[in-house]
Chain A
Amino acid sequence: MATEVAQIDVQVQEDHHDHDHEQSFISKYIFSTDHKTIAKQFLITGIFWAIIGAAMSAIFRLQLGFPEADLGWLKPLLGRWITETGQLDQEFYLALVTMHGTIMVFFVLTAGLSGTFSNFLIPLQIGARDMASGFMNMLSYWFFFVSGVIMFISLFLETGPASGGWVVYPPLSAIQTAMPGSGMGMTLWLIAMVFFIASSLLGGINYISTVVNLRTKGMTFSRLPLTIWAFFLTAVIGVLAFPVLFAAALLLVFDRSFGTSFYLSEIYIQGEALSNVGGSPILYQHLFWFLGHPEVYIVLLPALGITSEVIATNSRKPIFGYKAMIVSMLGITFLSFIVWAHHMFVSGLNPFLGSIFMFLTLIIAVPSAVKVFNYLTTLWKGNIIFTPAMLFSIGLVSVFISGGITGIFLGNSAIDIQLHDTYFVVAHFHLVMGAASAFGLLAGVYHWFPKMFGRMMDAKLGYIHFWLTFIGIYAVFFPMHYIGIAGFPRRYYSFTNFDAFSGFTDLNQFISIAAIATFFGQFIFLFNFFYSMYRGRKATANPWNSNTLEWTTPINPGHGNWEGEIPEVHRWPYDYSKPGAEDDFIPQTVPFSETMESNLPHENDMIALEKEQAEEIVVDESAGH
């Protein structure tokens, strides 16, 4: 049944393909339904937001590293957010922290990463002409765009954007008078998030149905590249988790504007006792983290998927433990839904519940560890080519280890008492989800740039960019562990009020300098990206000698991806350096009957099957016509 639908769909799109040249500018580049164009739209928008989000962190790092410095020179940009004495405004500091988090987590690492690569790679790597629904896909981007516009507008409000931290815990976010950012800024934040959730759901449903229904002949689930497995599971997580955030946001809207008391109870603020009773702020935290924790894996899994592909290709070796990789991703997907309360050990949660969540949380370390060991074994006895994408993938594994290991401290509720909401947490999640998925994003861009734009990015600039970023990331986040162990709380505008937190001015300065340098280092990438788009060396059909399907398309694939029929798939995507084979790679489209010299015993048995299937098709076609 499913294949019938798929065939009809393909038919329709093939017709469309014929009329490709008649597309107007608007339908080709703006309201496009082509997954490749939509992917690029996501990528460019993601890059735009990444610049804004990173610039924000550079600004608040200035405050943290140089609290005495005169920031008056930022006045043309920030206006009265710079105080008379040339310091950053305290409320605005929180606004920056909040928007940095929101932008980076949702706009850059969710939409920018999944939106780009799920869209770009799913049809190309499974052998489909386009997404299951091109129209929904287009909507997905434009909902994201609207969400971004609203969030962007909120940056320019007189009272500032939302400022209660990216988790926007009520009552701070629910009571409009609690801080300036809880007024209009918070309203716009909520509206923007509603559009964002709609966008994610439209995208996610599309990714899932495409992977399930539109795989080309021979592309079984056990032959899918790990990228696709990762995108598929990411979409599943998103579809299950985002609606809960929607519910949380909706109840917050009700509390803010319609006088309900879902999250509010017994509040006396600014000389007034509010009438709300019976609500619970903890309810919001449960709902938020029910999305919030899976969200971590929504940003991380695609990066791990990309890394698996890039490491295997550039080690010229099959990924070690393909099935174990899939099983561990399945494990992570499942477990990601039942660990959320580890963010709430000291929130007043029932301590018994805390014990349960500690246990579940530490289980999730096992599949993550398995993935790391598999990456290491993939590199072992490889023949490693350091493309910029490969460098970023190796960098990803390193920051994933470093950041993942601190998770074992934080997942332990007894140790978490001291570390909760300190810089230790900031260091932990910036390495394990921030840097790791950003590295995945960058690896993906370097690796698939030739397919996106038909040109190569400059490798040397890529190397410089990588080393600057890699050293920079560690220089920024590794020292934060020390500050965190010393107990420095996060989201503090200044540490000088406390004797206990007044040390480490030198380290804070070092971090700030490293952060700002790393931020400027990213302009090398931007230059390389836009320059290579127009002036880069022309790409060859398969520049990395890779096995996956996307490299069998024309160098600049049109709408519909393949000019003739969609190629058939005969093998898994990781036949690199197979003993006996002439080249060190065998693309997925090569049947076993053509590689007698390198087949493994059980693969020889497949040849008969291949033949049978080929005959069946002939019979089918003759019956059909």
Chain B
Amino acid sequence: MFGFYIALAILLVLGILLLIFRVTRLVGIVKGTGEKIVTDSNNVNAAMMIVFMVLFFGIAGWYSYVNFDAYDQPVASEHGELTDKLFWRTMWITGIVFAITNILLFYFSWKYRYSAKRKATFYPHNNKLELIWTGVPAIVLTWLVISGWMAWDGIMSEAPEESEQIEIMGAQFQWSIRYGGVDNQVGDYDYRLIDAVNAHGQDLSDRSNFDDFISNNLVIPKGDPVLLKIRARDVLHSVFIPHMRVKMDAVPGMPTQFWFVANKSTDEMRVEEGNPDFNYELACTEVCGGGHFSMKKRVVVLEPAEYAEWKIDQKSWLSKNPQYLSQVPENLKELALVTAGINE
């Protein structure tokens, strides 16, 4: 019954609107305004241009200022501070261009609205002007390109050798994280070896696998370079740590990587944000199926000493799953037992 009343109300409103439309139309025909190209509406539209401009810049400016902290995510990595700087530099430059061009657009629209007394100025071209506004944007853009390129080149450079090696693997719909362990070498894998327990498909004929361990959270040290070795098990995923300004696709069959230095520990960030429950997070940004929006991992940034302690406490995957010792070649068994921490 309620639905019926809603439908009735909508019909009534539509009916009234239609009636208003018909009446104004008939009045227009009687007055003969329909025949004219330029009516009084022309001035109304011109004025609306200015009204729109004022409201638009007013609201956008107010919102940008008042809510700055809400949309400006705090940054917690060294390269992130650089890219943020580039971002805001670009924002200032383009923001000014944006404001000037839009204001001119609305202002000209209002200022040069139709008047029967005036004739438009016949002004078909001016090559000097064209040259200026081709040249100036080109120079400014070149500057932006070069600063962007230098930053990009640094971010994408070879990871320092001492980087902490961490493998992060995307699968529908979770991340799985494996550490290089004591030798800081993430062991070889073969996707055909993957099963319910051996989620990463660790190839146990490679000795660097013996001390690898799996962690539930992405735990990283503050101030030391971290190399994420990124892979995907089924479809595309993308590693995204918003506060670290880290993003890289995870591609099945083609390992990718991203190295960075976190420069604020979780604790420091909790103090800075005034939020004792604050945690860094890792999300997926490449659509991967129904659960795409729920692929979350917690990221924990520890002081280097704490990190070293935490790392020592971790049990190797092999020691937790000793049944996989059977996959270790005979000549490496002894070594495996020791490095995996099964035989101390």
List the interface of chain A (C-beta within 8 A of B).
90-91, 94, 164-165, 169, 171-172, 175, 178-179, 264-271, 273, 277-282, 315-324, 346-348, 351, 354-355, 358-359, 362-363, 365-366, 369-370, 372-377, 379-387, 391, 394, 397-398, 401-402, 405-406, 408-409, 412-415, 417-418, 420-422, 456, 458-461, 463, 467, 470-471, 474, 478-479, 482-483, 485-487, 489-495, 497-501, 503-504, 537, 543-545, 574, 576-579, 584
Contact = CB atoms under 8 A, between A and B. Distances in A.
A498 B242 CA distance: 11
Rank and list the top 7 A-B pairs by shortest CB-CB distance, nearest first: A265-B253, A351-B156, A487-B242, A386-B45, A348-B256, A577-B120, A412-B148
Contact of B112 (A375, A384, A421, A467): A384
A574 to B, nearest CB: 7
Contacts of A398: 102, 105-106
B102 A413 contact: no
Contact of B108 (A265, A316, A379): A379
A460 B21 CA distance: 9
A322 B148 contact: no
Contacts of B142: 362
B278 interface: yes
B4 interface: no
A460 B124 CA distance: 32
Contacts of A282: 251, 254
B230 to A, nearest CB: 8
Interface stretch (B125-133, B159-167, B310-318, B327-335): B125-133
A172 B120 contact: no
Contacts of A346: 238, 247-249
B19 interface: no
B172 interface: yes
Given A178-B289, A409-B91, A503-B70, 9 more contacts: A94-B289, A169-B236, A358-B149, A358-B152, A366-B134, A385-B37, A406-B94, A418-B80, A491-B287
B288 interface: yes
B137 interface: yes
B223 to A, nearest CB: 21
B102 A402 contact: yes
Contacts, number: 344
Contacts of A545: 37
B148 A460 contact: no
A244 B42 CA distance: 47
A471 B52 contact: yes
A409 B277 CA distance: 32
A68 B148 CA distance: 42
Contacts of A501: 242, 283
A556 to B, nearest CB: 19
B141 interface: yes
A482 B63 contact: yes
A383 B118 contact: yes
Given A267-B233, A370-B134, A504-B70, A415 B83 contact: yes
A586 to B, nearest CB: 11
A318 B124 contact: yes
Contacts of B104: 376
Contact of A412 (B49, B145, B240, B278): B145
B192 A376 contact: no
A94 B24 CA distance: 45
Contacts of B279: 499
Interface stretch (B204-212, B214-222, B290-298, B300-308): B290-298
Contacts of B233: 267-269
Contacts of B253: 264-267, 277-281
A374 B105 CA distance: 11
A171 B235 CA distance: 5
Nearest to B37: A385
17 contacts: A265-B252, A266-B253, A269-B233, A280-B254, A321-B124, A359-B149, A379-B112, A386-B109, A397-B105, A409-B91, A417-B247, A418-B80, A482-B63, A483-B71, A500-B242, A577-B119, A584-B120
Contact of B46 (A322, A374, A384, A487): A384
A268 B247 contact: no
B261 interface: no
Nearest to B194: A268
A324 B243 CA distance: 44
Contact of B101 (A355, A372, A382, A500): A372
B285 interface: yes
A281 B252 contact: yes
A264 to B, nearest CB: 7
A385 B114 contact: yes
B71 A497 contact: no
Interface of B: 21, 24-25, 34, 37-39, 41-42, 44-46, 48-49, 52, 56, 60, 63-64, 67, 70-73, 80, 82-83, 86-87, 90-91, 94, 97-98, 101-102, 104-106, 108-109, 112-115, 118-126, 129-130, 133-134, 137-138, 141-142, 144-145, 148-149, 151-153, 155-156, 172, 191-192, 194, 196, 201, 233-236, 238, 240, 242-243, 245-249, 251-254, 256, 277-279, 281, 283-294, 296
A340 B49 CA distance: 36
Contacts of B44: 463
B247 A420 contact: yes
B251 A347 contact: yes
Contacts of A405: 94, 97-98
A470 B289 CA distance: 34
B261 to A, nearest CB: 15
A317 B281 CA distance: 56
A485 B84 CA distance: 10
B113 A386 contact: yes
A268 B292 contact: no
Given A366-B141, A376-B108, A178 B172 contact: yes
Contacts of B118: 383
A264 B172 CA distance: 16
A487 B112 contact: no
B189 to A, nearest CB: 9
A168 to B, nearest CB: 10
Nearest to B231: A266
A281 to B, nearest CB: 6
Q: Which of B45, B90, B278, B296: most chain A Cβ within 10 A?
A: B45
Contact of B234 (A268, A359, A574): A268
Nearest to B294: A497
B283 A489 contact: yes
A394 B293 CA distance: 38
Contact of A273 (B56, B121, B130, B191): B191
A128 B24 CA distance: 40
B152 A386 contact: no
A492 B292 contact: yes
Contacts of A266: 191, 252-253
B252 A493 contact: no
Contacts of B41: 386, 459-460, 463
Nearest to B257: A348
Contacts of B256: 348
B252 to A, nearest CB: 5
A381 B120 contact: yes
B133 A172 contact: no
B234 A489 contact: no
Nearest to B148: A412
A359 B145 contact: yes
A179 B145 contact: no
Contacts of A456: 34
A366 B135 CA distance: 8
A34 to B, nearest CB: 29
A386 B292 contact: no
Contacts of B102: 398, 401-402
A366 B133 CA distance: 9
Contacts of A362: 141-142, 144-145
Contacts of A374: 130
B298 to A, nearest CB: 10
B288 A172 contact: yes
Contact of A409 (B90, B113, B242): B90
Contact of A323 (B52, B125, B283): B125
